[in-house]
Structure 1
Amino acid sequence: MRTLNLKMTACAFAAAALLTACGGGGTTPGTDSNTSAVSGATGTCTAAPCINFGESNLGMVDFGRLGIEVANDPADASNKVAKLTKATDDEPWAGVTVHLGGTGNSVTRIDPAQGITLRVYSPAAGLPIMVKIENASNADAFVEATASTTKAGEWETLTFTYAAANTATTYNKVSVFPGFNTQFNEVYYIDELKYTAKAADSGSSNATGPTAAALAPTANAANVVSIFSDAYTNIAVNEWGPNWGASSARVSDGAVAGDNFKSIDMTAAGQEFGAASFTDSKFDATSYTHFNMDYWLDAPLLAGQVVTIKLSNHDGGAETSAVDFEVLPVVGGSWQRLAIPLSSFKIAGGASASRNNIAQLVITAPRTNNGLPLKMYIDNVYFSK
């Protein structure tokens, strides 16, 4: 695989990106438009969400040995386009991912319901062009559409529609497969990759965070074991946001109005929980009556979706039992204070409700589609009696 970026002078190779770009699955038929012109440029592609291949931050990543370069339009030397060269020894699925410098070669979020258009200059009529859209963080979340060229040696606009798209999935990566499933010596030119940007779903993207400090807790410090709060002395936490696999999220520090909080960043697709591990400071919570926590979401989770709080008990070096509690409904737009009786927690592992060696806290927020990003902010996390 080769990466082409107009700000770079060297090419990079990475087999992993090849696998991401060419995930399996069937295609959804697209439609053709016989619009042709003497230039790939129509004058309507001057800003995102449209890529005109003349941008200074343009990036292209090939896979399957496809040849890629920015070149002069074969019909209009004043216009820059992408030249894609496919040889007989290239993979039949060879293609190119196109982006404008986004993380993970991403673009702004695509609305699949509005489709994608692409200007194509093909060596022959009847050749299949496939455009695949996917989640930049989850290669398994994708849809594909194919349209056939109708012109040879002329520009035309092809339209790609995605009837099978999941409306809950974030599609923010796009790849073009010229002559899909063919192996001829062919040169294609493409221009004006155009789509409609989609706004984030309610409750799925938290870009603002708390606008005010959480109220200070009032429990007597003598009756508190604090995991995190400015109001109390906190126990030593070994790690916030430990990496326990792809579904685990990182936890970072934040502050508002002089008050500190923690942010659980479930932005990457598939992330659904954040944790705090304090195994070196595990404690006996048997005599404590309540688990307390303040949380903030910019918007509520969708109806029926819950936040689960799990307390992990370690009688030895690892979890021997656990209890959990489901928070429902999950409110957004302000700090929400939880004071949950520990007697309300249910057995979640080990067939025991023991709390004699609480060593970890796990906060889970699964969504209907975990490809949707979410940030959860927490403060004043403590046990009281």
Structure 2
Amino acid sequence: MRNKFKILAYLFIGIIMYNCSEDDRGKIINIDSPTDVDAQFTIAQDNSGEVTITPTATSANSFIIGFGDGSGSSERITSGEQIVHVYDEGSYDVTIIAFNTNGESAEVTKTLEVSFLPPENLQVTITQDEENVTVEASADNATSYIVDFGDGSETVTFGNDETLEHEYTEEGTYTITVTANSGAQETAVYTEDVTIEIEEEDPNTDISIPLTFEGDPESYVFTEFEGAPTTVINNPDTNGNSSAQVAQTERVQGAANYAGAFIILDENPDLINNNQLTMKVWSPAAGIPVTLRFENPSNNQNGVEATVNTTVANQWETLTFNYSGVTAGQDITKMVIFFNLGTDGQGNIYYFDDIEYGEGDGGEDPGTGGSFTTIDFEGAPTSYAFTEFAGQPTQVVANPQMSGINTSAQVAESIKVAGAGNYAGAFLILDQEPDLTAATFNIKVWSPAAGIPIIFKFEDVNNPANGIENTQTTTVVNQWETLTFNLSGDISTGDYKKMIIYFNAGNTGQGNTYYFDDIEMQ
């Protein structure tokens, strides 16, 4: 009875702690209630009946153990600690009560079998699927099983009615040893050999559009012809392209005027629904023609191509390639790239990276950005993957205010929920970094009130301390207007693809709804 009062006292203290817990700003800290409450029983192998109980749970920092043998409960122990208790042989319902720092609790009752008899009738099932194996075991009187997979990895302990999984990393024949334990010193042992053969991955695994050239460089197997060796290397110029790796093509001295390189994609590019591709290119000179072609691997006469000239020298730029004439079912998995097609090789080196779908007739996927032209939110609403923070959920909806200067079918909606932080906002990660050296953006905005401050910002995806922003204020009520945000200025080197918008910046949320559309870069 005294132990029951002890548990109730802990619970009462926990409730007080929960109700009084506040952060530095006076807000209650929300901590998840404990879940996945469990315990591991380790029975000494000397017939002493000594059992080590290790409680576990998610979101718990302390435990109380009810031993289930009439001796009461333990003192409260912290997460990671163990309790040692001596049992007579028998079956016991052990109660594990888990607490979080707010005093909330969850409990589970687990049966403990204490037997001094040795394991008998050990049955082990080992199932193999290439380099993966699963182990199941059962035995009379057994309380746990220890598995040695024979590959030098640590032994693993598991219980009755559990399945153990293991993955081998090297080929070979391994002896799996399963040892069954009970409360007795004597054990039962089972062994079985497994032979592991690991199939080598195709070096072209997952070579498809979008193509970023990250990962193992040897995975990108380009075949060059007539003097244009092409490989994936570390990016030699991260100014304007922060990718770690890029593709390099060298037009060797004297190479044929049609020298190029190709790679076989795992799947056809979708140039029917997305007939525009963008590619980052670095060239030692402006005016160099770059041809990106997709053709049938067996018939190079069956394909489509587009050519775009470079416009800058010794720096990264994004080129846009437009395609037409692709038919459904057409096999054009051979991607060929030519630099300076029609001119003999001069020993120049070119780089290219991030071959991605652009806007095209099939519609841009603005949820992942695309090259920045105008974001009009007319694609699939789920494509626009806005992430809100501090209470400004944002999504694309059918235009509820189709009037005046905006009769678009779809717009973006932001709700600054009641009580939202004064810094609440939402952001969208673009595929391409806009040129912010002299950037001005027009945005159509609908607000329920005039005088609402709106911040439009671009931020470095890797360093939120770096960014550039501008604030404009609404001037009309319940109607569309165009606000102009001037974001030109000096900014630190970075990857400014994080586009953020804040409504009623500096003020806590009042539950108002705002709409915006047609983000256009001037």
Q: Name the TM-score class by shorter chain.
A: 0.3 to 0.5
The structure having more radius of gyration, on CA atoms, is: 2
Question: Which structure has more RCO (C-alpha within 8 Å, separation ≥ 6)?
Answer: 1
Instruction: Flag the structure with higher strand content.
Output: 2
Normalising by structure 1, we get a TM-score of 0.35
